[in-house]
Amino acid sequence: MNTQNAMLIIDAQFDFCHPQGALFVPGADADMKKLAGWIKKNRNKIDHISVTMDSHPVNDISHPSFWQDKNGNFPNPFTPITAQEIKDGKWTPRFYPKEAINYVESLEQQGEFGHFIWPYHCLIGSRGAALDDHIMEALIEWTKDGKFYHVVAKGTYPLTEHFGIFRANVPVANRPETQLNQALIDTLEKYQNIFLAGEAKSHCVANSLKQVMEEAPDLAGKFIILEDCMSDVPNLGHLGDPVYTKAKSMGIKFAKTADITL
């Protein structure tokens, strides 16, 4: 088995990458076309590909139907919800109130991401959860040489968000799917170079990079960020900027696909 080059593709799914997707990231369609072309161009030199898939139930803590106001109305997408607003009765969790309140408080204590309501997206089994067509086509072509791509689901547990692929934002005791994904770390550690791409740059890619820098810094040192194959959620790029600044300070490499031929 060759162990030179691996890829970690974050959430290259319809809802993020297609203009008709529920949470389309502007620029993501062009990102994925470019990434797919790069995979095809270098198919014989890419030894492993892990693709992550955001995977949510309808009543996820970040979806409108999990919450209601005093009149029974659900919050609109892109509504922030604070712990104080919950205490004041502005928003009430419809399910598991104790766990939901603890979650929002834990997020605020981290001081990075407050709780935020997203459109219903990447619902398990839906079209929106499917891999982007361009990426799927590239994966099929790549596998014809006898390789197998590795799928990693995240976000299936409804009481915590799971931006980064390596663990949930707030891991939950007795829920292994929310805790550190050591198996993925072990898989990627076999390879010399790990090319990172996907969506969104400001959220799931940034958090995945942050987590690997914290949890497996030696592995993080193998990462090469394909910076022209990811885009920010509009007006929220500032959330991920500190992560990329820290990565550069650690010597993690950044490159554009046009500059890399394997």
Q: Does position 15 have pLDDT exceeding 90, yes or no? A: yes
For residues 213 and 242, the answer to whether their CB atoms sit within 8 Å is: no
Q: Does position 137 have pLDDT exceeding 80, yes or no? A: yes
Could you read off the pLDDT of 39-95 as tens digits, one per residue? 999 999 999 999 999 999 999 999 999 999 999 999 999 999 999 999 999 999 999
Could you read off the pLDDT of 222-257 as tens digits, one per residue? 999 999 999 999 998 998 999 999 999 999 999 999
Give the C-alpha distances (Å, rounded to integers) separating 168 from 7, 34, 162.
Answer: 21, 29, 4
Percent with pLDDT over 90 in the chain: 95
What residue type is 165 in one-letter code?
Answer: I
According to the model, what pLDDT value does residue 1 have?
76
According to the model, what pLDDT value does residue 53 have?
98
According to the model, what pLDDT value does residue 10 have?
98
For residues 25 and 231, the answer to whether their CB atoms sit within 8 Å is: yes
- pTM as predicted: 0.95
Q: Dihedral through CA 31, CA 36, CA 37, CA 42, nearest 10?
A: 130
Domains of the chain: 5-51+125-259 (3.40.50.850), 64-116 (no CATH)
The string of DSSP letters for the chain reads: ---SEEEEEE--BHHHHSTTSTT--TTHHHHHHHHHHHHHHTGGG--EEEEEEE-B-TT-TTSGGGEE-TTSPPPPTT-EE-HHHHHTTSSEESS-HHHHHHHHHHHHHHTS--EE---S-SBTTSGGGSBPHHHHHHHHHHHTTT---EEEEE--STTS---SSSS-SS--TT-GGGS--HHHHHHHTTSSEEEEEES-IIIIIHHHHHHHHHH-HHHHTTEEEETTS--PPTT-GGGTHHHHHHHHHTT-EEE-GGG---
* Whole-angstrom distance, CA of residue 123 vs CA of residue 156: 9
Q: Does position 112 have pLDDT exceeding 80, yes or no? A: no
According to the model, what pLDDT value does residue 113 have?
80
